[in-house]
């Protein structure tokens, strides 16, 4: 019996769907129905938990067989983040922990009042479990990563489509969305893994320097306790120091309402400019095989982004890094001022937090490799020095007035030379004044008068031979 190329048959003469055969070849000859959930999870860097994998794989199968509003299924990222957050144990916050956190944040607000001109927020201090942190911050994570997630999903979909034989492309029909969802599924699982892992490392709602939860002031008691392990410092001192940092962050973001959008906008501008390395994605599509999940893991977590940055990305990254450093430097300086006389361990804790923010934890590294962006203030110490210098020159009110408008923010040059900031600002303000004077003259018609026209009250100079002249012509 002859075979029909457009409708191939298997050994038992049962017609085989060409799309199914293509997917079977694409998935290492095993077919979609026989993909091992453990292998797919391994490709996304997930733990080998049979129950977790069974639930997750059911979601992935449903996702890949249906359409969605976008390339990424954020519900999958959410569910995976919650599972990872709970994997290491995530007990609910008890009443004693809630009371200790509330008292620490209230006291932190009192300690900050004398060292900043920004008023208190009036926010209620909260104690969160890791799952509660995931719920409170996932919306912001979606906003920050959606441009990257869409790029990854679309690039993988395009690459997979390019690998198809021409006769297959005409048969895809509505199934093309399945390929796009495949990329979104893998990215969603990895993003959920990174967010869930971060929930075990962060100690507060603003621990990474970005206000992930708007108008919130919160600490995670389990992670605060983990932070203090092995430090040989009083638990209450650690809690109070971290509470002052959280309260300082909250005060800054609440009382400077444009700042949150400024930071998130800089991150989004950078993410939108990310270019996908299509050659690597095409290699991934050719080699996509559940028997070799490390290849998928490596390509998605390390090699899908081109190492070169566009000029627009470079500018956005410089703006972001400077803004992050200014925020962290201000918080670092205020926390030191507020705690130096009341917490004997303040100096040691300040240095530990500085090093922790400079290096980042494992989950933060995983997140940065996934989205191609590190949210670490590389110039925290320079920024802290700048804020200390401004306080000496201008006082607390003058220092904090810098936050009144984004145009007043110091630049990277100011971090290089903190002592020269005031002089550079004075010259810039003088230059702006000259522009304002020139504009005012233009609007009042001052430029309509010829430069050599005499003033109304200035007498006209006599000319030779003028009969009104007191002296005759020169002989």
Give the N- to C-terminal CA distance of the chain in Å, as an integer: 130
129-164: b (≥16 Cβ within 10 Å) or e: bbbbbbbbbbebbbebbbbbbbbbbbbbbbbbeebb
pLDDT for 26 equals: 38
User: pLDDT grade, residue 290 (50/70/90)?
Assistant: very low
User: pLDDT grade, residue 269 (50/70/90)?
Assistant: confident
- Taking alpha carbons only, the member of 118, 135, 117 closest to residue 126 is 135
Higher pLDDT, 141 or 376: 141
35-45 pLDDT, tens digit per residue, is 555 555 555 55
291 has a pLDDT exceeding 60: no
129 has a pLDDT exceeding 70: yes
Q: Angle at the Cα of 9 (from 5 to 13), degrees rounded to 5?
A: 140
Q: What mean pLDDT do residues 155-179 have? A: 58
Instruction: Give the tokens for residue 154.
Output: 């679309």
Task: Say if residue 386 is exposed, middle or buried (CB neighbours under 10 Å; 0-12, 13-18, 19+).
Answer: buried
| Stretch among 325-329, 356-360, 383-387 having the lowest mean pLDDT | 356-360
| Stretch among 9-18, 141-150, 218-227, 283-292 having the lowest mean pLDDT | 9-18
Q: Which helix (H) or strand (E) holds 109?
A: helix 95-112
Higher pLDDT, 53 or 426: 426
pLDDT for 448 equals: 58
pLDDT for 315 equals: 80
Higher pLDDT, 240 or 7: 240
Instruction: Please tell me whether residue 70 adopts helix, strand or coil conformation.
Output: coil
413-427 pLDDT, tens digit per residue, is 899 998 888 888 887
User: For residues 196 and 362, is the Cβ–Cβ distance under 8 A?
Assistant: no
Higher pLDDT, 467 or 369: 369
Instruction: Give the tokens for residue 350.
Output: 């300040």
Rounded CA-CA distance 363/352 in Å is 18
pLDDT for 16 equals: 44
Give the E-state strand segments of 221-371 in sequence order.
none
CA dihedral 113, 116, 119, 125 (to 10 degrees): -60
Q: What mean pLDDT do residues 11-22 have? A: 44
Higher pLDDT, 154 or 318: 318
| Stretch among 187-191, 297-301, 445-449 having the lowest mean pLDDT | 297-301
| DSSP H helices in 289-310 | 293-298
With a CB cutoff of 8 Å and minimum separation 6, the contacts of 60 are: 40, 76, 185, 189
367 has a pLDDT exceeding 90: no
Rounded CA-CA distance 221/101 in Å is 8
56 has a pLDDT exceeding 50: yes
| Stretch among 97-106, 133-142, 294-303, 440-449 having the lowest mean pLDDT | 294-303
| Stretch among 19-23, 47-51, 185-189, 467-471 having the lowest mean pLDDT | 19-23
pLDDT for 244 equals: 98
pLDDT for 76 equals: 84
* pTM of the predicted structure, to 2 decimals: 0.73
Average pLDDT, the chain: 75
User: pLDDT grade, residue 371 (50/70/90)?
Assistant: low
Higher pLDDT, 341 or 278: 341
Instruction: Give the tokens for residue 92.
Output: 């609910």
| Stretch among 12-16, 153-157, 230-234, 414-418 having the lowest mean pLDDT | 12-16
Q: Which residues sit opposite 276 in a β-bridge?
A: 305
Q: What mean pLDDT do residues 324-351 have? A: 95
| Stretch among 24-33, 38-47, 288-297, 394-403 having the lowest mean pLDDT | 24-33
pLDDT for 268 equals: 81
pLDDT for 307 equals: 47
């Amino acid at each position: 019996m002859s075979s029909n190329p457009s409708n191939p048959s298997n050994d038992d003469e049962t017609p085989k769907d060409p799309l199914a055969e293509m997917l079977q070849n694409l998935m290492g000859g095993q077919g979609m129905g026989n993909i091992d959930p453990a292998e797919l999870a391994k490709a996304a860097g997930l733990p080998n938990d049979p129950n977790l994998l069974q639930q997750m794989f059911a979601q992935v199968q449903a996702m890949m067989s249906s359409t969605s509003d976008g390339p990424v299924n954020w519900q999958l990222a959410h569910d995976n983040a919650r599972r990872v957050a709970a994997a290491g144990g995530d007990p609910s916050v008890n009443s004693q922990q809630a009371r200790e956190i509330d008292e620490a944040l209230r006291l932190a607000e009192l300690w900050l009042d004398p060292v900043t001109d920004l008023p208190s927020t009036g926010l209620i201090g909260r104690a969160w479990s890791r799952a509660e942190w995931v719920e409170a911050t996932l919306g912001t994570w979606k906003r920050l990563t959606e441009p990257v997630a869409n790029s990854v999903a679309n690039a993988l979909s395009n690459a997979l489509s390019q690998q198809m034989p021409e006769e297959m492309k005409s048969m895809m029909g509505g199934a093309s969305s399945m390929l796009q969802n495949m990329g979104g599924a893998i990215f969603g699982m990895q993003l959920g893994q990174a967010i869930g892992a971060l929930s075990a490392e962060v100690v507060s709602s603003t621990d990474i320097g970005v206000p992930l939860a708007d108008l919130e002031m919160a600490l995670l008691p389990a992670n605060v306790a983990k932070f203090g392990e092995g430090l040989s410092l009083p638990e209450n001192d650690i809690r109070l120091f971290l509470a002052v940092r959280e309260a300082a962050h909250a005060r800054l973001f609440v009382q400077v309402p444009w700042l949150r959008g400024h930071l998130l906008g800089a991150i989004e501008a950078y993410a939108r400019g990310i270019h996908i390395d299509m050659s690597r994605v095409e290699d991934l599509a050719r080699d996509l095989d559940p028997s070799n999940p490390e290849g998928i893991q490596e390509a998605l977590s390390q090699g899908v982004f081109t190492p070169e940055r566009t000029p627009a990305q470079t500018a956005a990254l410089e703006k972001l890094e400077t803004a992050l450093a200014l925020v962290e430097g201000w918080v670092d300086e205020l926390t030191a001022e507020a705690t130096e006389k009341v917490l004997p361990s303040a100096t040691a804790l300040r240095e530990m937090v500085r090093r922790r923010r400079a290096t980042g934890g494992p989950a933060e590294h995983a997140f940065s490799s996934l989205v191609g962006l590190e949210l670490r203030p590389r110039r925290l110490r320079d920024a802290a020095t700048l804020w200390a210098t401004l306080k000496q020159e201008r006082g607390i009110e003058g220092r904090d007035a810098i936050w009144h408008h984004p145009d007043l923010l110091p630049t990277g040059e100011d971090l290089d030379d903190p002592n020269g900031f005031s002089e550079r600002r004075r010259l810039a303000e003088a230059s702006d004044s000259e522009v304002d004077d020139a504009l005012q003259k233009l609007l009042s018609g001052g430029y309509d008068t010829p430069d050599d026209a005499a003033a109304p009250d200035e007498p006209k100079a006599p000319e030779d031979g003028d009969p009104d002249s007191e002296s005759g012509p020169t002989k």
